[in-house]
Structure 1
Amino acid sequence: MTFRIPIQVRSYELDALGHVNHAVYHQYGEVARVAGFRAAGCDWNELGEKKLAPVLLSTTVNFRRELRADEHVEASCEAKFGSGKSFHLDTVLTKADGTISADITCVLGLMDLDARKLVADPKAALEAVGFDAAVLAPGS
């Protein structure tokens, strides 16, 4: 089962049209990514001690259905690692009735904060601080 976290739309997140402001979707994606990393056992303190930090390289939101005040959504988080320096953390925002409100695709890297460069194998570096990629695997 895919990792999910509930989110409730708050009135101050709305724009002049009465639906969630476009920038807030990025915040919802960040909520899912941080919660997903925690659920996968990533030790943020140890990551910081090793002078490593995830960095967002690109993000794309596809808006499908509007969200309005007091609606409840579930934000998923799925990690997809390949053989390079970057990886994907993707989020789908699903309304209570099962309608997809948006999907968010993010490309990240893991930066060595001293060298200011991406590490060659982000999955291995994350696993060294307790990250279990299987928790965020697609369809898990």
Structure 2
Amino acid sequence: MIFPVRVPIQVRFSDLDTLEHVNNAVYLTYDEVARGHYLQQAGAHIDSGNFVMARAEVDYITPILFGQQVEIALRVERVGNSSFRTYSETWADGGLAARIKVVVVWLENGKPARIPDWLREAIRGMETEPVEGL
């Protein structure tokens, strides 16, 4: 699978839980960082519109420990009318730590709205593999 965005993540001490590995909720924060990079590369700006996460699905594979080299690889795998779904893999020291799918909804004036054509075209241009719905 080809990922147009790969983002290194620095594990912070505050990311750890009492078992001394990255807390499960923090995986979604790491994913959000990568998604932000993706949207920025697609041309989205703070005033382009608003996004809200509607659904998240995480498959935890191995714990991430403090000091490990972490990278998030992210792509868009589906575009709908007012939402799109990302798929990412979280890697720690070269080993797969998690797979994450997130549905993001595009909002205008606080309500779901059709994803703008400029964003659809940007996603199409960034992805080298087929994207469902495009």
* Aligned residue type for 2:97: S
SS of 1:36 mapped into structure 2 = helix
Structure 1 match to 2:113: 119
SS at match of 2:85: strand
- State whether structure 2 residue 17 is matched by structure 1 residue 15: yes
> 2:122 aligns to what?
132
Q: 1:137 to 1:25 in 2, by over 3 A?
A: farther
CA RMSD of aligned residues (A): 2.1
Contact in 1 for aligned 2:60/2:98 (Cα 8 Å): yes
So what's the TM-score if we normalise by structure 1?
0.79
Identity, % of aligned positions: 26
Contact (CA 8 Å) 2:9, 2:71: kept in 1 or not? Answer: yes
Q: Which of 69, 72, 83 matches 2:69? A: 72
- Aligned twin of 2:99: 103
- Deviations 1:57-106 (Å, cap 9, x if unpaired)? 11111100110001111101211333432210222101232x21011110
Counterparts of 1:136 and 1:28, CA distance in 2: 21
Q: Which residue of 2 aligns with 1:27?
A: 29
Of 48, 57, 62, the match for 2:59:
62
Ranges of 4+ aligned residues in structure 1 off by more than 6 Å:
none
- Using structure 2 for the length normalisation, give the TM-score: 0.83
**Structure 1 contact 62–102 (Cα < 8 Å) conserved:** yes
Q: Which of 3, 6, 9 is matched with 1:4 structurally?
A: 6
Task: Name stretches of at least 5 consecutive residues in structure 1 with no aligned partner.
Answer: none
Change (3 A) 1:83 1:60: closer
Change (3 A) 1:123 1:95: farther
Query: How far did 1:136 drift?
Result: 4.6
Q: Which runs of 5+ in 2 are unaligned?
A: none
Q: CA deviation at 1:37?
A: 0.9
Equivalent AA in structure 1 for residue 117 of structure 2: A
Question: Shift of residue 41 of structure 1?
Answer: 2.2
1:86 aligns with 2:83: yes
Structure with larger RCO (C-alpha < 8 A, sep 6+): 1
Equivalent position of 1:37 in the other structure: 39
